[in-house]
Amino acid sequence: MNRQQQELTKILKKFDHFCLKYGIDYYLCGGSALGAIRHNGFLPWDDDVDLDITRANYQKLQECSDKLEQETDLVVVDSSRYPHYSNTLVRIVEKKNTMIFQHRMVDKTPKGYFIELFIMDPIPRDLDKKKAWLTKHWVYTELHSISFLSANTKIMDFLDEKMLMKYIQRYQREGKNKVLTELSEELFTVPESESDEYRFRWGINKNIYPISWFGKPQYVPFEDFKLPVPQQVMKCLRADYGDSWMMIPDEEGRITHEDMVDNLDIPYDKYVKDYQQFIDEDAVFQAYLPRKIGRAKKFFNRMRSLEKSQELQRMLVLKQMENVSLPLLEVYQKDRKYDAIENIFRIWYKYQFDLLFVQNSAYLDIGDNRLWYALLPLLIRGEWSKARKVLRWRYKMYGKSEILEPMEEYVDGIQGAYVQCDCGEYDDISKYLEKIKMFSLATETFDYQYLSLRMRIEQSTVLCEAECMNILQQGETLYEKYPDKEEILCIMGDTCRKGGKKEKAHQYYQECKKKTRNGMIIQYINSIC
CA distance 285 to 202: 20
What pLDDT score does 277 carry?
83
Which residues does residue 82 pair with via DSSP β-bridges, in sequence order? none
Instruction: Categorize the per-residue pLDDT at 468 as very low, low, confident or very high, splitting at 50, 70 and 90.
Output: very high
The tens digit of pLDDT for each residue in 21-65 reads: 999 999 999 999 999 999 999 999 998 999 999 999 999 999 999
pLDDT band at 157 (very low <50, low <70, confident <90, very high): confident
Q: How far apart are CA 407 and CA 392, in angstroms?
A: 11
CB-count burial class (<10 Å; 0-12, 13-18, 19+) for 290: exposed
φ and ψ at residue 193, rounded to 5 degrees: -65, -20
The b-or-e profile of 57-69 (16+ CB within 10 A means b, else e) is bbebbeebbeebe
Specify the pLDDT at position 276. 81
Domains of the chain: 3-124+195-268 (3.30.460), 324-410 (no CATH), 460-528 (1.25.40)
Cβ pair 300, 135 in contact under 8 A: no
Q: pLDDT-based confidence at 258, cuts 50/70/90? A: low
The per-type count for the chain, helices as H runs and strands as E runs, is 23, 11
d(CA 136, CA 167): 10
pLDDT of 1? 84
Confidence of residue 423 (pLDDT cuts 50, 70, 90): confident
Report pLDDT for 480: 96
User: Global pTM?
Assistant: 0.91
Place 85 in a pLDDT band, splitting at 50, 70 and 90.
Answer: confident
pLDDT at residue 102 greater than cutoff 80? no
Rounded Cα gap, residues 340 and 343, in angstroms: 5
Strands 50-54 and 74-77: unpaired
Task: Report how far Cα 388 is from the mean position of its chain's Cα atoms.
Answer: 16
Closest by CA position to 237, among listed 426, 28, 416, 393: 28
SS3 220: strand
C-alpha 483/C-alpha 43 separation (Å) is 28
Dist CA 209 CA 200 (whole Å): 9
| SS3 (DSSP) at 227 | strand
**Any idea of the CA torsion for 504, 507, 511, 512, to the nearest 10 degrees?**
60
pLDDT in tens, 327-339: 999 999 999 999 9
Q: What confidence tens digit (pLDDT) does each residue in 189-236 have?
A: 999 999 999 999 887 778 899 999 999 999 999 999 999 999 999 999
Q: Can you tell me the distance from the alpha carbon of 289 to that of 297, in angstroms, rounded to the nearest whole number? A: 13
